[in-house]
Chains A and B, each alone.
Chain A
Amino acid sequence: MWGREINGLVLTFHLAGINNQNFLMRDEQTGTYWQQISGRGISGPLAGRSLKLIPSDELTFKLWKSEQPDGSVLKDIPADAGDYSPKDWDVKIQKYPTVLSFPEHGFKPRDVMLGIQAFGEARAFPYELVLREKLVQDRVGTEPVILLVGPDGQSVRAFRANDDFFRAPDGSMMDSATGSRWNFKGCAEDGKSKGACLERIEAIKDFWFDWRNYHPNTTVYAGAGRRRK
């Protein structure tokens, strides 16, 4: 998700093409072409500029609603709703071919990754592996990072946090330093740290082929206790 203001000019984006299965957008105001995954201008007057990343979350509806009971939801456009993706879209699309393939690490092109680009490193965390481990403790670049699976067992958030954190038997996250219990928002609900919140890190859900294509130097998380590669 991107901010669409650049030097005080608000851009309106249109779908304008596809590049190796990642789409291109064109802004109405300057005619610049932008790559969706990177938010970078690739051709036209604003080529070389970057849009500002707006932190967003991919969550299940029930989890988001529990956090934002007064929130609002984008309405369908009735004329197009018949063409919207089915609920099992992510399963069906696995069969859809790709034009790129990066067989390193034994991944299939459409294996789903949680990609983090931060602190000088691009690192991919296989989504299914993260779901299995529920709490991942790792490093990205210079910083310690944790990935936490939400109470719905499907939503994942990443935080900048060291390995003081662990999963309590009841499934909640605690830290050994203060004995506080932390929720999925990354905020301490009790204990000495009550009220404190961890720094969020943007993790993008993407197919392996797409993530790898735009992050050619990406490293990959191989599982708890496995050597970094």
Chain B
Amino acid sequence: MDDSIATGPAHPKPAFSLIIATLAIAIFFVAYPDYVIRPMRHQGAGELQAALVVLQYQHLAEFLCAAAALLALVFYLRLKPGRGPQIRAISATAVVLVCAAFSRVNVFEVMFHPAGAPSFQPARETKLDGDEKVLAVNTRAYPIRSISYHHIVNDVAGGVPIAVTY
């Protein structure tokens, strides 16, 4: 082993530590809001607020973590550490990148696909049972069976932009 690596100024340890730090932060920013804001769990007001603040900064934090992890990894690999540390550093950076990618995904819209731009058909041509429920605003009706799945329809009714929610 070359002595200069172990004793020189460019000791690889800080770069590796930086990767591990970005890993911890990246996981926290993804996991904490997903832990708090999930179905079938009681949420206190305080933790909801905290989770929403984390979410507010999630994209920025994940971007910075991914950039820092990549830079640290490049720096670290150029110092030619052993095979084991190399694999650990690359794996940790990969997890940071996965967290960053995951933060771009809206899990709730994966579960319930968004309704997109709504389109309509005349009431006379609509095949719905008479006793099916609809949410109605004047001349527009939104069948409960579909809006209870999509939850939100961004529409414009009579010139007024409305959010139909259920």
Q: Is A160 part of the contact surface with B, judged by Cβ < 8 Å?
A: no
Q: How far is the CB of A120 from chain B (nearest CB, A)?
A: 24
Residues of A within 8 A of B150 (CB): 77, 80
B121 and A14 contact, CB distance less than 8 A: no
Complex Cα spacing A14 to B149, Å = 13
B148 and A89 contact, CB distance less than 8 A: yes
Residues of A within 8 A of B46 (CB): none
The digit string for A89-103, where 1 denotes a CB below 8 A from any CB of B, is 110000001011000
Q: Is B118 part of the contact surface with A, judged by Cβ < 8 Å?
A: yes
User: Which of B41, B133, B135 touches A1 (beta carbons < 8 Å)?
Assistant: B135
The digit string for B43-57, where 1 denotes a CB below 8 A from any CB of A, is 100001100110110
Interface hits, B6-60 → A, CB 8 Å: 33, 37-43, 48-49, 52-53, 55-56
Stretch of B68-76, B91-99, B105-113 with 4 or more beta carbons under 8 angstroms from chain A: B105-113
Question: How big is chain B's contact interface, by range?
Answer: 35 or more
User: Which of B43, B122, B152 touches A13 (beta carbons < 8 Å)?
Assistant: B152
B122 and A4 contact, CB distance less than 8 A: no
A44 and B56 contact, CB distance less than 8 A: yes
B123 and A89 contact, CB distance less than 8 A: no
A84 and B115 contact, CB distance less than 8 A: no
Residues of A within 8 A of B124 (CB): 69
Most chain-B Cβ atoms within 10 A of its Cβ — which of A19, A31, A58, A90?
Answer: A19
B119 and A14 contact, CB distance less than 8 A: no
B129 and A87 contact, CB distance less than 8 A: yes
Q: Is A64 part of the contact surface with B, judged by Cβ < 8 Å?
A: yes
Residues of A within 8 A of B163 (CB): 1-4, 11, 13, 25, 51
Q: What residue in chain A is nearest B155 (Cβ atoms)? A: A74
Residues of A within 8 A of B114 (CB): 14-15
Most chain-B Cβ atoms within 10 A of its Cβ — which of A56, A65, A89, A97?
Answer: A56
Q: Is B82 part of the contact surface with A, judged by Cβ < 8 Å?
A: no
Residues of A within 8 A of B1 (CB): none
A20-B52 contact, Cβ under 8 Å, with A61-B134, A68-B141 = no
Most chain-A Cβ atoms within 10 A of its Cβ — which of B118, B119, B134, B137?
Answer: B134
Residues of B within 8 A of A51 (CB): 163
Q: What residue in chain A is nearest B37 (Cβ atoms)? A: A17
Residues of A within 8 A of B147 (CB): 74
Q: How far is the CB of A12 from chain B (nearest CB, A)?
A: 5
Residues of B within 8 A of A14 (CB): 106, 108-109, 114, 152
Complex Cα spacing A99 to B38, Å = 11
**Further 7 A-B residue pairs, CB within 8 A, beyond A15-B108, A73-B122, A90-B133:** A56-B164, A60-B131, A68-B138, A72-B123, A74-B142, A77-B115, A100-B42
Q: Return 30 A-B CB contacts under 8 Å, by A number.
A: A1-B135, A1-B162, A2-B162, A3-B161, A3-B163, A4-B163, A13-B163, A15-B108, A18-B108, A23-B108, A42-B48, A56-B136, A57-B135, A58-B135, A59-B136, A60-B130, A61-B134, A71-B136, A71-B139, A72-B140, A73-B126, A74-B146, A76-B143, A80-B149, A85-B144, A85-B145, A87-B132, A90-B133, A97-B40, A100-B42
Q: Which residues of B contact A (CB under 8 A)?
A: 33, 37-43, 48-49, 52-53, 55-56, 106, 108-109, 112-116, 118-124, 126, 128-154, 160-165
